[in-house]
């Protein structure tokens, strides 16, 4: 029998409620996507999934943060460094409600201008869904065909390299940070690269997260002298994606509850700019020496997952976050 999936936020809320002596009720047939916490004659409904888990964040602030283009414009207007890029509509669903200049055909002009490879992702996506490096015009055409079945708008950005951090902010404090890096496949001397990709994709089926497109990897493999049919030697590592999200198997390094001041300062500025009491700020260190002297904001998440705390065995921090939230609300 397959174990029933319960959102981690609901499990954490349940643990926090139990610690406080509050009553936890599930209104979603035990699935955990709609719950109520009661303390005496006070109660609050909470949710997961498409609904922001944190009631203390306003809908406007979460909405702005969910729009990556809006977020970049807000932060750039305040002088905070962001990755250069632009948004483009890949469907005609609302074409009569917008000015020209950002249609899908314009994405090709922009990509030619900044030069391939480019990095593309949905403007409103999360968990690394369809966040991909695109190496050519043909690959961009294929990417748009795939992504437009689910999203209306994409972001096209310069490809940058560096060390990426997630910084978790709560009010005027940073509770923790960690380095995040894409996962990789490890050869066994038997399976082909295509077979490794298929095995990885099988872990994502049903998760709502895009699968890795094997055909989209052909160019980058060719540049390495490889093909999808190539067999990696035992222990040989190969990066097959550029998304570093925990939900897609991203690797966590250097978890700390005492982040560097440079990271804290920039993250808290972003939280203040978007009026978010809780958020996760993704920041990349693009300095040559990786000494945090040159930072850029990747994006801001107004509904950050706490899965990283579970993965790093820091469930106590996650529960205490919800203890504080529940005490404030009830």
Specify the pLDDT at position 1. Answer: 43
Q: What percent of the chain has pLDDT over 90?
A: 71
List pLDDT tens digits, range 125-162. 888 889 999 999 999 999 999 999 999 999 999 999 99
List pLDDT tens digits, range 86-119. 999 999 999 999 999 999 999 999 999 999 999 9
Q: Inform me whether the pLDDT recorded for 219 exceeds 60.
A: yes
Instruction: Copy the structure tokens of residue 51.
Output: 């609904």
Q: Inform me whether the pLDDT recorded for 214 exceeds 80.
A: no
Specify the pLDDT at position 244. Answer: 73
Could you give the CA distance from residue 151 to residue 97 in angstroms, rounded to a whole number? 17
Q: Which of 155, 146, 98 is nearest to 123 (CA)?
A: 155
Could you give the CA distance from residue 26 to residue 38 in angstroms, rounded to a whole number? 12
Specify the pLDDT at position 5. Answer: 82
Instruction: Copy the structure tokens of residue 2.
Output: 């397959």
16 neighbors 322 (Cβ within 8 angstroms):
yes
CB count within 10 Å of CB 6 equals 16
Instruction: Copy the structure tokens of residue 125.
Output: 């996506």
Q: Which of 48, 75, 120 is nearest to 282 (CA)?
A: 75
27 neighbors 34 (Cβ within 8 angstroms):
yes
- H or E stretch covering 61: helix 59-66
71 neighbors 64 (Cβ within 8 angstroms):
yes
- Strand locations in the chain, DSSP E? 23-26, 34-39, 42-47, 85-89, 118-122, 132-134, 153-158, 163-170, 173-181, 184-186, 237-239, 251-256, 278-285, 295-301
List pLDDT tens digits, range 33-53. 999 999 999 999 999 888 999
Could you give the CA distance from residue 113 to residue 111 in angstroms, rounded to a whole number? 5
What domains sit in the chain, N to C, each tagged with a CATH number? 8-53+313-329 (no CATH), 58-83+162-183+241-302 (3.30.470.20), 84-159 (3.30.1490.20), 186-239 (no CATH)
- H or E stretch covering 307: helix 307-311
Q: At what angle do helices 261-273 and 68-77 cross, to 10 degrees?
A: 110
Could you give the CA distance from residue 241 to residue 74 in angstroms, rounded to a whole number? 29
> Could you give the residue ranges of the DSSP H alpha helices within 132-192?
137-147
Could you give the CA distance from residue 21 to residue 25 in angstroms, rounded to a whole number? 13
Average of per-residue pLDDT values in the chain: 92
Q: Inform me whether the pLDDT recorded for 249 exceeds 80.
A: no
259-273 mean pLDDT: 98
Q: Inform me whether the pLDDT recorded for 308 exceeds 80.
A: yes
* Cα four-point dihedral sign 63, 66, 70, 72: positive
Residue, of 165 and 199, whose pLDDT is higher = 165
Specify the pLDDT at position 3. Answer: 53
List pLDDT tens digits, range 169-182. 999 999 999 999 87
Starting at the edge strand found earlier in the chain, the sheet holding 251-256 runs 251-256, 173-181, 163-170, 278-285, 295-301
Confidence class for position 199, pLDDT limits 50, 70, 90: confident
The partner residues of 119 in beta bridges, in order of sequence, read 133, 157
List pLDDT tens digits, range 2-34. 557 889 999 999 999 999 999 999 999 999 999
Specify the pLDDT at position 265. Answer: 98
Would you give the end-to-end CA distance of the chain in angstroms? 38
Tell me which residue has tokens 């000015």: 99
């Amino acid at each position: 029998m397959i174990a029933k999936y319960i959102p981690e936020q609901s499990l954490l809320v349940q643990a926090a409620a139990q610690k406080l002596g509050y009553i936890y009720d599930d209104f979603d047939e035990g699935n955990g996507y709609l719950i109520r916490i009661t303390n005496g004659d006070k109660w609050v409904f909470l949710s997961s999934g498409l609904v922001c888990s944190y009631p203390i964040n306003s809908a406007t602030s979460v909405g702005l943060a969910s729009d990556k283009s809006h977020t970049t414009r807000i932060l750039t207007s305040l002088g905070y460094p962001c990755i250069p890029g632009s948004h483009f509509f890949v469907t005609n669903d609302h074409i009569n409600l917008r000015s020209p200049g950002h249609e899908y055909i314009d994405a090709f002009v922009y990509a030619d201008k900044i030069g391939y490879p480019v990095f593309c992702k949905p403007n409103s996506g999360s968990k690394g869904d369809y966040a991909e490096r695109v190496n050519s015009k043909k690959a961009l055409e294929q990417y748009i065909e795939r992504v437009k079945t689910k999203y209306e708008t994409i972001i096209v950005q310069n490809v940058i390299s560096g060390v990426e951090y997630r910084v978790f902010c709560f009010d005027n404090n940073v509770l923790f940070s960690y380095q995040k890096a894409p996962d990789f496949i490890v050869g066994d001397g038997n399976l082909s690269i295509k077979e490794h990709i298929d095995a990885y994709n099988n872990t994502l089926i049903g998760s709502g997260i895009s699968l890795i497109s094997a055909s989209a990897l052909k160019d980058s493999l060719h540049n390495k002298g490889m093909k999808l049919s190539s067999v990696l030697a035992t222990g040989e590592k190969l990066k097959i994606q550029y998304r570093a999200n925990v939900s897609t198997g991203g690797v966590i390094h250097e978890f700390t509850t005492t982040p560097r001041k440079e990271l804290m300062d920039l993250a808290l500025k972003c939280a203040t700019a978007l009026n978010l009491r809780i958020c996760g700020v993704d920041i990349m260190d693009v300095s040559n020496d990786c000494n945090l002297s040159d930072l850029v904001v990747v994006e801001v998440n107004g509904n950050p997952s706490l899965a990283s705390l579970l993965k790093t065995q820091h469930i106590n921090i996650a529960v205490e976050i919800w203890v504080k939230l529940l005490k404030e609300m009830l």
